[in-house]
């Protein structure tokens, strides 16, 4: 479930961003709850509001996750919240994920080469995940042990992995999965 930050304000100025904070500073707001709709596209914020004696006003809030997409020919930065929606949206395409950290020397060496691959293989989705504290749950879910690690996915499943700054192995793995 996606959690959104919003503050209850007049309808024309409702704002949202991808973190949780329900502001009850507005004089009519008492408490807020977030529910995800079955379409996973619309998040409804239900607040306990006294509005002319009626409770339970519903405000629709657009999530930034609705617009999370990978761009062909570029490497797209993902987070624990945007990774799976982008992978799902990729459908039958091969997805290559670069799992790195800011402090990793070999990761820095591989970054421009990974960008070049994204420009060469336009039928492949290239993503990168900073394995920082915020994204630790996803890194753990994907089984990261060393950085850089490259995970290659097809049909939402990891089909191959390249550990370390092994560019030739990464190219071979991408070409093998693309041709299968």
Cα separation, 19 vs 106, in Å, equals: 31
H or E element at residue 60? strand 57-62
Beta bridge partners of 31: none
Active-site annotation holder among 22, 32, 104, 131: 104
Catalytic-residue membership of 32: no
DSSP strands (E only) in 25-116: 29-36, 42-49, 57-62, 75-78, 94-100
56 three-class SS: coil
Cα separation, 111 vs 165, in Å, equals: 10
Cα separation, 76 vs 31, in Å, equals: 36
Cα separation, 178 vs 122, in Å, equals: 11
Angle at 102 between CA 96 and CA 107, to 5 degrees: 50
Active-site annotation holder among 22, 32, 107, 131: 107
Closest Cα partner for 55 from 63, 64, 46?
46
Catalytic-residue membership of 107: yes
Q: Regarding beta strands 149-154 and 94-100, do their DSSP bridges make them parallel or antiparallel, or are they unpaired?
A: antiparallel
Active site residue ranges: 104, 107
């Amino acid at each position: 479930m996606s959690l959104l930050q919003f503050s209850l304000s007049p309808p024309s100025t409702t704002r949202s961003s991808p973190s949780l904070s329900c502001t009850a500073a507005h004089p009519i707001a008492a408490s807020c709850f977030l529910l995800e709709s079955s379409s996973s596209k619309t998040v409804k914020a239900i607040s306990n509001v006294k509005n002319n004696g009626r409770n339970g006003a519903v405000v629709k809030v657009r999530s930034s996750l609705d617009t999370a997409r990978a761009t062909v020919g570029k490497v797209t930065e993902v987070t624990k919240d945007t990774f799976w929606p982008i992978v799902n949206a990729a459908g039958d395409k091969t997805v290559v994920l670069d799992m790195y950290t800011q402090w990793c020397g070999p990761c820095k060496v591989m970054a421009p080469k990974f960008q070049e691959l994204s420009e060469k293989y336009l039928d492949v989705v290239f993503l990168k995940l900073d394995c920082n504290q915020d994204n630790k749950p996803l890194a753990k879910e994907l089984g990261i042990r060393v950085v850089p690690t490259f995970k290659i996915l097809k049909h939402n499943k990891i089909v191959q992995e390249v550990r370390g700054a092994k560019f030739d192995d990464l190219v071979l793995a991408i070409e093998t999965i693309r041709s299968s």
